[in-house]
Amino acid sequence: MDPRKLSTGAHLVRVSLIGLNFVISILVGLALGWGVQQLWHWGHWVIIVGILLGIVTGYYLLFDDLRKLNAQSEKGFRK
């Protein structure tokens, strides 16, 4: 489907999912860190590393989604 033909509601959902992806990536990093800590009984530093990896992943997804949205909006204006 051509993204330029999406409704305003669909665009709003897409933009709101950017923030949700950021939060979910942090929570997944937290869960993975906690799981590794519980499984192998390593220190609490593993949880912090998991959170930091989740934050890095969240920023990566954020900038990637914004880059895609910007590229699509530029294509729409060049008609």
Q: Is 38 helix (H, G, I), strand (E, B) or coil?
A: helix
**Of 24, 15, 9, nearest in space to 55 by CA:** 24
**Cβ atoms of residues 76 and 4 within 8 Å:** yes
Q: pLDDT per position in the chain (79 positions), as tens?
A: 566 677 888 878 888 899 999 999 999 999 999 999 999 999 999 999 999 999 999 999 999 999 988 887 777 666 5
pTM for the full predicted model = 0.82
Q: What pLDDT was estimated at residue 33?
A: 97
